[in-house]
Amino acid sequence: MTRHSIAPIPPGALDLTGPAVRRRRALQRIAMDVLEAAGFAEAIPPTFEYAEIFLRAGGPEIADRLFRFTDLDGRTLALRYDFTAALARVAATSFADVPPPIRLCYTGKVYRQEPGRVGRPREVLQVGAETMGEGGLTSDVGLVRLTLQLLHALGVADFQVNLGHVGVLAPGLAALPPERLVEVRRWIDRKDRASLERNLAPLNSPARELASLPFVIGRGDTLRQALIDAPPEVRPGLEQLLALDGLLTDAERAHVVYDLGEVRGLDYYTGIHFEVFATGARRAVGAGGRYDDLMGRFGRPMPAIGVAFDLDALAEITT
């Protein structure tokens, strides 16, 4: 009988010692130094909150992903599912009298169950930043630049930011019959062009555009080409991406790819959204975007934008 069989740890949990710990602590220090120098103040929300806080932010679809338990008062609590919801609550309460923008950064663990996804970690060490009360293109560009700055500072040599905009696919998805929405989103996520073309060809625009738009992936020239024949409902999202591209430097553009087929997070984000992929990593090492509707759910409506990095994934590919 092995020692691990005598005292096992749950699937998705990690024992970290020695170099693995030192690497993560070094990454935390580097990232937090960058964020604090950029004007973000560190916040440490509790490890658990009322489950309703996370459900208010993420919707009922995340209910099965929460680690929930009941306290002695009979209230349902949950381990921290993400920092964004917690910091939105903090900005709306503890910072209620502070004029925007409010810039907060954080580092710590989040806890997520992933039903049906064997091998996914259930606790993840993150670092990230949120800006509440600042909207517009300048803020979007600032977040992309901050993301690139952090990746360079963390020593990630080969990476790509896959950047999209909710406004590109949202009109087509909204035009679908409700009973078709789930399967169409699944086909888009899987890049199943055949199923999309077969099922969407008979529909009217903008729903029909879902058979082609998710496969638009490339640089600024690709966006300009897509804009030529884009329906009116789609054009604002494409134009915003092109405006953002026009403000980036050549060095910044080298790491940015526009991917219009990203559907994960569409119910959460309201504008730009992105994932970060790095050579050698087995999953995305970061994600972020604009979520202008979230703060209103906590009683203080204002635009907001943020990014989070998976330090466990980054620790495996940096030295």
pLDDT for the residue 137 = 97
Amino acid 295 reads M
Task: Tell me: pLDDT of 3 over 60.
Answer: no
Decide: residue 37, CB within 10 A, 0-12 exposed, 13-18 middle, 19+ buried: exposed
Place 229 in a pLDDT band, splitting at 50, 70 and 90: confident
> What's the whole-number mean pLDDT along residues 158-181?
90
pLDDT of residue 211: 84
Per the model's pLDDT, the better-predicted residue between 152 and 157 turns out to be 152
Higher pLDDT pick, 106 / 268: 106
pTM over 0.85: yes
- Between 209 and 153, where is the model more confident? 153
- What does the pLDDT average to over 279-292? 94
Helix (H) or strand (E) holding 30: helix 18-37
Tens-digit pLDDT profile for residues 92-136? 999 999 999 999 999 999 999 977 666 678 999 999 999 999 999
Averaged over 217-245, what is the pLDDT? 93
Domains (range + CATH), the chain: 10-155 (3.30.930.10), 159-278 (3.30.930.10)
Rounded to whole angstroms, how far apart are CA atoms 250 and 214?
25
